[in-house]
């Protein structure tokens, strides 16, 4: 299994009383809440943590994109990935993801990804996402065209990476007389494309198509959803697309905290992981799902849940651990959990969010080192031999 | 009241129709039509009222060749041709006012008059419009109505059945498609409003926080010969909030026109 360290880079110095005046830390929270001096220290600390992860033997380090919020300070993950490109010597650098369809010109991202890929000698993993609903407010992109633009931007970018230029592209949303991206990507035909998702049958169907076979990552979800969607990927590949998906095509991303004992892990992580959900991922329904962002049927399903599983509210650490959203405990506990999940699901990619919300520097580094020493080697040794196989999963 | 579908260029459009007299096309706003409203009933006492659900809204189809208000304008000109009612009075509310203007700058051959109510379509320097998408239903209610009780009733109406809930989501998605970016206006519309050569009456609720009344004044400046009536104490959805006052503001202008 490949294990990556995934950093969200939150604004840890956020005034946590902001909710007295603002109902969310996304889009409408004034940027006067951001102190550039503190931001300077945070960015450099977070980049140090990513570099440390690479030194500790993680297979990759990962960054992502969010706009106008305190949850993640990477409106351009290309900037953070570029800052890592020469300091991280051998590990993969994963941008999970960039929202190509949010851009009026996705070719600028295609160029930037190609540059990083060439600079790193082919160590870029290119994530493609639609961006969450709030992004459509902050980027002025029409959510009603979110699916269309995602697919069209994808087609444009993959063609730009693979088809000899110059050529012209005439889509509904994107039209270019000259597509001729210099540099071409180092990896051929193009950098691996990963699709992180909060759980979507449509994304699974699209990513698993025979001509794409993109890596699907189930992100920030109750373990029940992880089981559902990772198995769905294999089933969709088999039944709908007519091939057997490899275990390298699926993965799981989750916040993790390990400490010397289960009790100590809970004690140290509690306040920070609860803040991740109550203070940072504090997204009202209308911002999470602007009109048109979901199909009418998906929206209906989402309304039925009342509150999406991940957003806002006061989720306790006990609930988060019980639901399998947060993996927390001693190295033995967390290792057993992950090895057990792998036995069931066989995923060959795991993204560990070893920093979240306000987790301070010392605890983050301890978490990173302990995970890397006590948990990660057992995961990296896992192959399809340790997976129970689909037949057993289907029989359960 | 008669409900039918009319098929125009392959798209099925849902129409409500009632009354007698000169034909009046009522173009609804960004929120969509919850049904045959009191205002439509009042207008039908005097005119033959035709009230469609716009493409993408209500019971109408969502054709993939209608992307924006410009497309809607050409489509409705085709609809008028298909209905063959002769020249019609158009009453356009909110998004419907924007569509009415976009139709009229293209052709007034089938249009007798325009009544523009709390119309979207233009931007006024320094005047901020509200965001009907980002807020909770309660916050959005404050943008749309001057009064609170009516806002609560309105929100409840859309939750009153599974069908209404579904139409609510469908309407919001269509509203986003047509009005999200640029929000509630077309930067090119204002420069062509001088082409409108039919009698035009602008009506505005003084308590409209979604599209504040300054937009009405600007439209009056841009549309040759337009008159402006302000209604105190009602918001963006005046047709729901004060149907009588709303109808009284609309009818005399149209009825007073010489055919």
Minimal CA separation from B89 to chain A, in Å: 31
Nearest to A73, CA basis, from A84, A62, A83, A63: A63
Model confidence band, residue B154 (pLDDT cutoffs 50, 70, 90): very high
B interface test, pick of A142, A284, A297, A301 with most B CB neighbours within 10 Å: A142
Interface contact flag, A292 B177, Cβ < 8 Å = yes
Minimal CA separation from B73 to chain A, in Å: 20
pLDDT of B39-59, one tens digit each?
A: 999 999 999 999 999 999 999
Helix/strand/coil for B82: helix
Which tokens in the block code for residue A87?
A: 């300091």
- How many helices (H) and strands (E) are present in chain B, helices listed first? 9, 8
Task: Quote the CA–CA distance of A277 and B200 in Å, as a whole number.
Answer: 53
Please tell me which of the candidates B136, B165, B176 has its beta carbon nearest to residue A144: B176
Find, in chain B, the residue whose alpha carbon is nearest to that of A28.
Answer: B134
Minimal CA separation from A169 to chain B, in Å: 20
- In this structure, the number of other CB atoms found within 10 A of the CB of residue B221 comes to 11
Chain B contact for A143, CB < 8 A?
yes
Domain boundaries, chain B: 2-255
Minimal CA separation from A144 to chain B, in Å: 5
Which runs of E-coded beta strand occur in chain A?
A: 2-6, 60-63, 92-98, 124-128, 167-170, 175-179, 193-197, 215-219, 250-258, 327-329, 349-353
Interface contact flag, A142 B136, Cβ < 8 Å = no
Please tell me which of the candidates B136, B165, B181 has its beta carbon nearest to residue A142: B181
Quote the ipTM score.
0.94
Q: Give me the residues paired with residue B6 across strands.
A: B13
Which tokens in the block code for residue A296?
A: 């009418």
Interface contact flag, B176 A143, Cβ < 8 Å = yes
Q: Which domains does chain A have, with CATH numbers?
A: 2-395 (3.20.20.30)
Nearest to B32, CA basis, from B2, B15, B54, B62: B54
Q: What angle do CA A95, A97, A98 make, to 5 degrees?
A: 100
Chain Cα centroid distance, residue A231:
19
Chain Cα centroid distance, residue A167:
32
- How many helices (H) and strands (E) are present in chain A, helices listed first? 15, 11
pLDDT of A353-380, one tens digit each?
A: 999 999 999 999 999 999 999 999 999 9
Residue A309 has pLDDT above 50, yes or no: no
Residue A311 has pLDDT above 90, yes or no: no
A interface test, pick of B57, B68, B174, B181 with most A CB neighbours within 10 Å: B181
Which tokens in the block code for residue B80?
A: 């008028």
Chain B contact for A297, CB < 8 A?
no
Q: Residue A188: is the preceding peptide bond cis (ω within 30°)? A: no
Please tell me which of the candidates A28, A141, A284 has its beta carbon nearest to residue B136: A284
CATH architecture of B2-255: 3-Layer(aba) Sandwich (3.40)
Q: What is the pLDDT of residue A32?
A: 98
Q: What are the chain B neighbours of A296 within 8 Å (beta carbons)? A: 166, 169-170, 173
pTM: 0.95
Task: Quote the CA–CA distance of A175 and A178 in Å, as a whole number.
Answer: 9
Chain B contact for A394, CB < 8 A?
no
A interface test, pick of B66, B180, B185 with most A CB neighbours within 10 Å: B180
What is the H or E stretch that residue A161 is in? helix A146-162
Q: Give yes or no for a contact between B70 and B24, defined as CB atoms under 8 angstroms apart.
A: no
pLDDT of B191-244, one tens digit each?
A: 999 999 999 999 999 999 999 999 999 999 999 999 999 999 999 999 999 999
Point out the least confidently predicted range of A371-385, B103-117, B138-152. B138-152
Chain B contact for A304, CB < 8 A?
no
Minimal CA separation from B143 to chain A, in Å: 15
Interface contact flag, B136 A28, Cβ < 8 Å = no
Model confidence band, residue B138 (pLDDT cutoffs 50, 70, 90): confident
Q: What is the pLDDT of residue A315?
A: 87
């Amino acid at each position: 299994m490949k294990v990556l360290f995934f950093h969200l880079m939150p604004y840890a110095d956020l005034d946590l009383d902001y909710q007295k005046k603002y109902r969310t830390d996304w889009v409408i929270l004034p940027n006067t809440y951001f102190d550039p001096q503190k931001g300077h220290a945070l960015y450099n600390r977070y980049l140090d943590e990513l570099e440390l992860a690479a030194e500790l033997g993680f297979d990759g380090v990962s960054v992502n994109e969010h706009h106008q919020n305190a949850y993640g300070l990477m409106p351009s993950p290309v900037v953070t990935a570029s800052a890592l490109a020469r300091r991280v010597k051998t590990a993969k650098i994963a941008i999970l993801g960039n929202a190509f369809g949010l851009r009026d010109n996705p070719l600028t991202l295609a160029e930037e990804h190609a540059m990083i890929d060439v600079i790193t000698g082919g160590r870029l993993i290119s994530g493609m996402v639609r961006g969450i609903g709030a992004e459509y407010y902050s980027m002025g992109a029409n959510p009603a065209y979110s699916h269309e633009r995602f697919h069209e931007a994808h087609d444009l970018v993959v063609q730009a990476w693979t088809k000899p230029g110059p050529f012209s592209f005439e889509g509904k949303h994107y039209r270019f007389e000259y597509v001729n991206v210099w540099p071409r990507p180092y990896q051929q035909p193009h950098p691996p494309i990963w699709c992180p998702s909060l759980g979507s049958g449509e994304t699974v169907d699209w990513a698993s198509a025979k001509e794409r076979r993109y890596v699907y990552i189930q992100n920030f979800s109750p373990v029940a959803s992880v089981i559902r969607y990772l198995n769905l990927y294999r089933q969709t590949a088999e039944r709908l697309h007519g091939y057997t998906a490899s275990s390298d095509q699926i993965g799981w991303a989750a916040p993790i905290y390990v400490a010397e004992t289960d009790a100590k892990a809970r004690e140290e992580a509690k306040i920070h992981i609860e803040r991740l959900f109550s203070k940072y991922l504090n997204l009202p329904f209308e911002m999470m799902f602007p009109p048109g962002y979901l199909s009418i049927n998906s929206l209906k399903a989402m309304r039925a849940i009342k509150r999406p599983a991940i957003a806002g509210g006061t989720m306790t650490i006990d609930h988060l651990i019980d639901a399998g959203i947060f993996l927390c405990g001693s190295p033995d506990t967390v290792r057993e959990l992950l090895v057990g999940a792998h036995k069931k699901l066989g995923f060959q990619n795991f993204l560990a969010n070893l920093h979240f919300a306000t987790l301070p520097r010392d605890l983050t580094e301890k978490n990173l080192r302990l995970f890397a020493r006590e948990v990660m080697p057992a995961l990296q040794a896992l192959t399809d031999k340790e997976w129970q196989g689909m037949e057993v999963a289907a029989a359960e | 009241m008669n409900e039918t579908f009319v098929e125009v260029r392959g798209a099925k459009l849902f129409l409500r129709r009632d009354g007698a007299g000169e034909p009046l096309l009522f173009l609804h706003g960004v929120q969509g039509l919850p049904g045959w409203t009191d205002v439509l009933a009042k207008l039908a006492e005097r005119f033959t009222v035709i009230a469609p659900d716009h493409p993408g809204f209500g019971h109408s189809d969502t054709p993939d060749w209608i992307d924006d208000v410009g497309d809607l304008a050409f489509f409705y000109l085709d609809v008028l041709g298909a209905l063959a009612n002769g020249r019609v009075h158009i009453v356009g509310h909110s998004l419907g006012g924007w569509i009415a203007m976009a139709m009229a700058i293209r052709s007034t051959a089938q249009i007798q008059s325009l009544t523009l109510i709390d119309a979207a379509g233009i931007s006024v320097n320094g005047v901020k419009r509200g965001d009907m998408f980002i807020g909770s239903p309660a916050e959005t209610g404050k943008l749309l109505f001057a009064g609170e009780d009516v806002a609560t009733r309105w929100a409840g109406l859309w939750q009153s059945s599974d069908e209404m809930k579904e139409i609510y989501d469908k309407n919001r998605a269509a509203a986003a498609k047509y009005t999200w970016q640029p929000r509630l206006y077309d930067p090119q519309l204002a420069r062509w409003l001088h082409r409108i050569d039919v009698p035009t009456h602008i009506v505005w609720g003084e308590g409209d926080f979604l599209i504040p009344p300054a937009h009405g004044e600007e439209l009056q400046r841009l549309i040759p010969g337009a008159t402006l009536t302000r209604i105190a104490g009602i918001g963006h959805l005046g047709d729901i909030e004060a149907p009588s006052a709303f109808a009284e503001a609309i009818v005399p202008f149209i009825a007073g026109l010489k055919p």
